[in-house]
Amino acid sequence: MATFFVGSGGLLLAAMYLSSWWAIPFLLMPFAVGRKFRSLRCPSCDQPVAYMIVRLFGIEREMLRPFFPTRCPHCAVSLKQSEGQR
């Protein structure tokens, strides 16, 4: 996460002082992070962990979670790297 803020801050400074073309990667970085977040899967059951099923007026829809879960919503395996490698 720190790499995201340092990298985007550096690109923003470059865009402000060097050239406006440096703003293009700065504007595309949230899309790249979002794409990576959507592709995260549970190492145990291989189900996507970034989505949750929301039921509204009898209609089910998959939506992105606002926060990253600590356990898989499907099989309840811990997704923390230190606990998962034991």
Domain limits of the chain? 2-84
What is the model's pTM?
A: 0.50
**pLDDT for 84:** 45
**pLDDT for 4:** 61
Distances (CA, A) of 72 to 31, 47, 67, 75, 86: 24, 8, 13, 6, 17
Q: What is the pLDDT along the chain (86 residues), one digit of tens a residue?
A: 566 666 667 777 777 777 767 677 777 877 887 788 778 888 888 888 888 888 889 888 888 777 778 888 888 888 776 554 54
Q: Contacts by 54-61 with C-beta closer than 8 Å and gap 24+?
A: none
Q: What does the DSSP assignment read for 13-47?
A: HHHHHT-GGGHHHHHHHHHHHHHHHHT-B-TTT--
CB-CB contact of 29 with 58 (8 Å): no
